[in-house]
Amino acid sequence: MSQILVADDHPMCATALAMAARVVDPAVTIDSATTLAEAEDFARVRPHDLILLDLMLPDVQGFAGLAVLRAVRPAARIAIVSGRDDPSVIRQAVALGASGFIPKSSPIDEMVAAIRSLLAGERWIPAGIDIGASDDRRADLAQRMGTLSIAQLRVLRAIANGHQNKQIAYDLQLAEPTVKSHLSAIFRKLGVSNRTQAVLALQAFDAED
């Protein structure tokens, strides 16, 4: 029996993914989340066989959500589900550690094929996409973002929201020197030298659904 997490705030798409999963495994257990926070809570308590992650959720934009779930569950198989299926977005997803990419425009039978392949341990991307065809700088940023710890990702999200160190420390229940230490690690891992550049790196993962 498979365990799948569907993190998607679009009811029709979430329903379609659940239907496809049940075709593959009628006994599948499906957890449903409509925000990254809910998905993170599920991921912390259950080792899902597959996580199907909407690229745009109400509380996160772009690939930052993938980075967060990868930090929580480094070995998890995660497939991005998105209304955007241009090659640069797909390459970024793979660079950041996604096991697959399922366009929201996919018919049900294609979603079934994708979920079956992903549960079998295979990669799934749309036909005709060469994920090695580009040296896209955003793919390099994706790899760098994937090295951040969950605590560092939370600090990065906080500075992107305009919060200063004291507020971040209060909100995340950290000592202020710990926040500064996280910032230093973030700058080093992303190859940037200040808060503005770090925020721009995070925004590079944003993509409209």
Assign residue 187 the CATH number of its domain.
1.10.10.10
- Is 75 found in the same domain as 12? yes
Are 81 and 8 in contact by the 8 Å Cβ rule? The answer is yes
Edge to edge, the sheet with strand 29-33 lists: 29-33, 3-7, 50-54, 78-82, 100-103
Structural domain of residue 54, as residue ranges? 3-119
- Is 186 found in the same domain as 107? no
Bridge-partner residues for 78, per DSSP? 51
Contacts of 85 (CB under 8 A, 6+ apart): 101, 103, 105, 126
User: Along the 209 residues of the chain, how does pLDDT read in single tens digits?
Assistant: 899 999 999 999 999 999 999 999 999 999 999 998 899 999 999 999 999 999 888 887 677 788 888 888 888 899 999 988 788 888 878 877 899 999 999 999 999 999 999 999 999 998 887 776 554 566 677 677 777 877 888 899 899 999 999 999 999 999 999 999 999 999 999 999 999 999 988 877 654 44
CATH of the domain at 73: 3.40.50.2300
- Per 3-state DSSP, what percentage of the chain is helix, strand, and coil (rounded to 5)? 50, 15, 35
- Is 155 found in the same domain as 90? no
- Is 82 found in the same domain as 14? yes
